[in-house]
Structure 1
Amino acid sequence: MVSVAPLRLHYFYDPLCGWCYGASPLLLAAADLPEIELLLHGGGMLSAPHNRRVNMEWRGYVMPHDRRIAAISGQPFGDAYYEGLLRSEARLDSTPPIAAILAAPKLDIAPQRMLAAVQAGHYLHGLEIADPAVLAIIAAELGADAGRFADAYAAALERSATHIAHSRQLMNRLELRGFPSAVLEQDGRFEQLDLGAYLGRPEAFRQYLQQNGAARAETGQAPQCGLDGC
């Protein structure tokens, strides 16, 4: 019997990347497939020294992009985000939510579920996801004990810089230029996927992956955030 090499999906994301939020249903569709090993790589788009605070200039800049993401992907953006968070002075820092996602397996939470919950917290509920207290509430809603979250988060935060650096190095090696990016790996071969063709179409993306990449992937415009900001 011939063994089949595992099919890995490398997903490069940032929790504060709007296009990553738009691609969230694709990631969740991929996670439903038992034949796919899903590997998440947080990129630190707004980690130090690129972290910042929301202001009216930022609001004016991101809102047209967010409305385009909503139109293409069908992902909802809440009034609490548009009229709450984007009118505040909330801190934008990718490292704390990435640490929460790294901590998720220690809490028996799938990393993609934590990522989706963090994204919804930001874009739908207008929460400041750079605040560890907010992340603890999100984790609790996913079933995590508060004490276990605090310990797992602290340990993940210590290794977050190394994780982000590794993600950036792998992106450079694979010649990836932004978030989100997805790459299929099998038998030592890497194939970049054009997620733009599947935005708003998670079932089509699932069907493509079920073919183990044997069929030619659809192509389309692949909107992304850059490595250091949208």
Structure 2
Amino acid sequence: MKLVYAFDAYCGWSYGFAPTLDEVVRRHPGLDVEVVSGGLFTGSRRVPVREFGYVQGANAEISQLTGVTFGTGYARLIADGSFVMDSEAAARGVAALRQVAPGRIVELAAALQHAFYVDGLSLSDPATYRAVAEAAGLDPDAVVGAFGAPGSAAAAKEDFARAAGLGVDSFPTLLAVQGERTTALAVGHATADHIDRRLGAFTAVF
């Protein structure tokens, strides 16, 4: 059995879920976790943030429910409403980090969201991945090189298809997968205890 975590690095609810996922991983250290990027802001949804009038209200709700904070760097980045969240670029970044340090992708996905939602760094900027890699003790040239390589674009598309194939249509979604059987452990928000109960019910049948 493994967990599949479908998220989007530009999704505020995914940012809010990161501490819960960290706790789940801590409780189940032997459980494999596959991290898959979703295409939340692609195509016609790749527009300036001013067109998403709900952002500030949603962020306040996320903070209240999950305890995460949104930093001053992030506030400055989106202040004039012109910033464009590009999920394809973010997914390429996740793929690059996953390629360089596959065993740390849960941690690195959270670090990437921290870079955006706290530090206000664009996930389309190679310098962001250099900063994340340096902070994590990874080879920054390897990460930046992977981000710009054609393989990362292909991996991003594969991630979007993987999420869609699993029936994921909102982020974050945490799934338990055993062979051909899949169940949702969390969609949007859940506590680690809630996930443990669902996981226990899922594994009880095997």
When normalised by structure 2's length, the TM-score is 0.84
Task: Structure 1 unaligned segments of length 5 or more: list them.
Answer: 1-6, 216-230
1:85 and 2:80 are equivalent in the alignment: no
1:194 Cα deviation from its structure 2 partner: 3.4
> Per-residue displacement from partner, 1:6-65 (whole Å, max 9, x unpaired)?
x2111111111111111111222233323311111211111234212233x54x420000
Task: Structure 2 unaligned segments of length 5 or more: list them.
Answer: none
1:152 Cα deviation from its structure 2 partner: 2.0
Give the Cα–Cα distance (whole angstroms) in 2 for the partners of residues 165 and 192 of structure 1.
18
Query: What SS class does the counterpart of residue 91 from structure 1 fall into?
Result: coil
> Per-residue displacement from partner, 1:110-130 (whole Å, max 9, x unpaired)?
111221011111111122122
1:177 and 2:172 are equivalent in the alignment: no
1:45 and 2:40 are equivalent in the alignment: yes
Query: What SS class does the counterpart of residue 177 from structure 1 fall into?
Result: coil
Q: Is the 8 A contact 1:48 1:93 kept in 2?
A: no
Which residue pairs with 2:95 in the alignment?
102
Change (3 A) 1:9 1:212: farther
Give the Cα–Cα distance (whole angstroms) in 2 for the partners of residues 94 and 196 of structure 1.
18
1:8 and 2:2 are equivalent in the alignment: yes
Give the Cα–Cα distance (whole angstroms) in 1 for the partners of residues 4 and 99 of structure 2.
20
Q: Is the 8 A contact 1:97 1:135 kept in 2?
A: no
Structure 1 window deviating more from structure 2 (147-156 vs 93-102): it is 147-156
Give the Cα–Cα distance (whole angstroms) in 2 for the partners of residues 12 and 192 of structure 1.
11
> Per-residue displacement from partner, 1:163-205 (whole Å, max 9, x unpaired)?
212322222xxxx43111121122432111235663xx44x25
Give the Cα–Cα distance (whole angstroms) in 1 for the partners of residues 83 and 186 of structure 2.
32
Structure 1 window deviating more from structure 2 (139-148 vs 11-20): it is 139-148
Give the Cα–Cα distance (whole angstroms) in 1 for the partners of residues 37 and 195 of structure 2.
22
1:211 Cα deviation from its structure 2 partner: 4.0
1:212 Cα deviation from its structure 2 partner: 7.1
When normalised by structure 1's length, the TM-score is 0.76
Give the Cα–Cα distance (whole angstroms) in 1 for the partners of residues 201 and 142 of structure 2.
37
1:142 Cα deviation from its structure 2 partner: 1.3
Change (3 A) 1:140 1:66: same
Cα RMSD (Å): 2.4
Query: What SS class does the counterpart of residue 193 from structure 1 fall into?
Result: strand
> Per-residue displacement from partner, 1:145-170 (whole Å, max 9, x unpaired)?
23211332223234322321232222
- Of the candidates 64, 68, 79, which is equivalent to residue 61 of structure 2? 68
Query: What SS class does the counterpart of residue 109 from structure 2 fall into?
Result: helix
Give the Cα–Cα distance (whole angstroms) in 1 for the partners of residues 189 and 158 of structure 2.
32
Give the Cα–Cα distance (whole angstroms) in 2 for the partners of residues 164 and 11 of structure 1.
12
Q: Is the 8 A contact 1:102 1:111 kept in 2?
A: no
Q: Is the 8 A contact 1:128 1:134 kept in 2?
A: yes
Identity %: 25
Give the Cα–Cα distance (whole angstroms) in 1 for the partners of residues 34 and 64 of structure 2.
28
- Of the candidates 125, 133, 136, which is equivalent to residue 131 of structure 1? 125
Change (3 A) 1:121 1:45: same
Q: Is the 8 A contact 1:12 1:181 kept in 2?
A: yes
Whichever of the two has the greater Rg, that structure is 1
